[in-house]
Structure 1
Amino acid sequence: MPGKKKGKGKKGKGKKGKKGKKKDKNSALRGEPGAAVKSVLRAYDENCARTASLSCVGLRRKLKASYEDNILLEKFLLEGYEDSPPDQPIMMVEPLLDALRSERYVFIKELSVWDVPLKHENVASVALLLEKQVYPLRQLELLDCGIESYPVTRLARSFPAHPFLSTIILDYNDNLFLDGNDLECEGAMELIKMVADTAEREAFERAEEVRMKAELEAEKELEGKKKKKEAEPPKVGPWLKKLHLAENGLDAFGKAGNYAPVICMRLFRKLITNSNCLEELDLGDNHIGDLGGRELLQALLDRKEAKLPTLSLGVSPMMHQDTFTLLMKHSGSLKKKGKKKKGKGKGKKKKKK
């Protein structure tokens, strides 16, 4: 009997001891946030060495400053190096993501990746981090990473699973493919509003530039001076070239009501009319209606009058047949879309008759 009491006492002490250790560890983490940042830095360095990845000096500096000041780091910036020699190791995003996972660092709120080439597997790693729903990321910025269309679709699938994400920046990546995400008219308008406004401003600047050149040439002719060729300014960009928003609920059945498709297409009209960079716009499987289709048609006519490149357009045929035929006539066909080619052919036959 005495032996049993001793055993119970030992077990009890052992349990209390373990609980006590856990409490001390948690309180130390809360009291010294720098320790958590330091562990992330250590794990990041180890992962870079293991994967032969180039380490980001700026990120290491930020992490080191945070743990020295005993504060949590919420904004992580992974910035690549421009014009790096070909024999130099490439920078990868996985060492940082693995460090966040292994150290269970759940204090990150913003993740920015600049000038780091991201292939499908790299983008998938970022998407998996979002799908964990543990990291309270509010802003994701993938700037000038050369992301192609297929990886973007993988990334887009992770957005509905993440409750905190409110800002996504994919500048200088040319293409934006968000098919099948149920954005509805309001979401699509929020997505392209800034792009449409910028395109309108750039169109005004182009018109002003043409006018100024014409005035200068007229002045030179009056003065009798020979016309000199001026060097062209460097191109700014790249800007948005391909925008795919097929099957996103751009119709009258959403929360915005019956007039939502028309209002939404007016914003797309501004983008189509003014953007000289936009090459493809896919709005297929969205019931924008005949009025919405007419807005797009007017945009294509305005674009043609402004002598901008032909836009490849994809829309649902759920509108008046004449409107759909004219849309197909004044736009290019999207690749791998047999239905649109047929529609275009029908339009031509009717015209011959």
Structure 2
Amino acid sequence: MTKQPQVGAGLKKISETAVVRSMKELLRDYEIRAERYETTVSNSIRKQFKKALDDDRLMTRFLVDPQDRRPVEYWDDEKLVKALQGEPDEGAHKRKKAKQKHVKEDKPLVKVLPLIDAIRARRYTHIQEFYVWDCHMENDDSMALAGIITRGCYPITRVELIDCFLDNKSINILVNAVAVSKTLKELCLDFNDIGEKGCRILCAGLSKARFLTHLGLCYCGLTKQCGLWIGNLIVETAIRELLLDGNPLEAEGVIALLSQLSEAAENEGFERVEEIKRKQQALEDMKRAARINLDREPADLNVNADEVKTTSPATSPTGKPDDNITEKDIMKTKGKKRGRRGKRGGKLEPPPAGPQISVLKLADTGINHMGRGGNFAPVRCMQLLKR
């Protein structure tokens, strides 16, 4: 008996080698560009590439976590007293001598720009999530990230920029790119000192975003004035999840945010009721117009019947009237036309905009009786949430 060649195994090997080859080329290009820009290759990216190569799969999630910051040393009371009194610390002296023996040159910082340039140069269109943690992002890094977000060929759905020292210019560049993107649904900017000015820029840019549904702004230094701007943003866009933990909004800022949402929700409910009434009235008018008025004279009824017969004959596909055409044939032609229209228009539609928020986190935002409103401020917040 002749053995048949295993075609499936061969195809699997070819596909696996193609995946491995593309991943290795991307990593090599990233290392070359990092050396050209005089930066360091992120260890987290290398680990992810290694794991993906071992599993023989494509990377869809990129995490840039340099971990190059020095650990913070917390002194106890005794050590602090000795340092203030000027007493020598034997342990610190020994550690200083050991460090002098093993002196290492400081490596350059990790940057995001070489990685994004490598992704664009290799046309790696499998990226879906992009995370940057504890990495200083300059304006050129933000521009590179904005360029890859606005491209329709990169289906990025989530971007996290946590503790990246973003300034107002970088925020403006990023939010304008997010407003154009049709794939990005989640944006997280936690632990960036955005402040009032940055929040105003962010809300103005994201007001045009039609596909964004998740926004994280935890510990961004947002004050009570920012509550009004964020409330207007939520009302105008399709954002459903809003995280504002750790911002000094106070009760006044939270009330401004919730009042915008509650008023918009009430107006939307009123408009829906009016729209339903308008449709019902239109249906009743159509039914009333279709009824035969029995109070008219018989001559008028005969004239109307003749007009109906002459004006609405069944027509054939050539445009001429045909008595053999039935209602089933007419329904078939309508169904075909609708099917063709559905095939042509395959555009991605955005989620509906409006005050339809489902997740709202306000932990550690200073909602207490100390600000404006006194003891009634927290109660007012709860009333608005209940509405």
Higher relative contact order (CA 8 A, sep 6+): 2
- TM-score, normalized by length of structure 1? 0.49
Please tell me whether Structure 1 or Structure 2 has the larger radius of gyration of its CA atoms.
2
TM-score with structure 2 length normalisation? 0.45
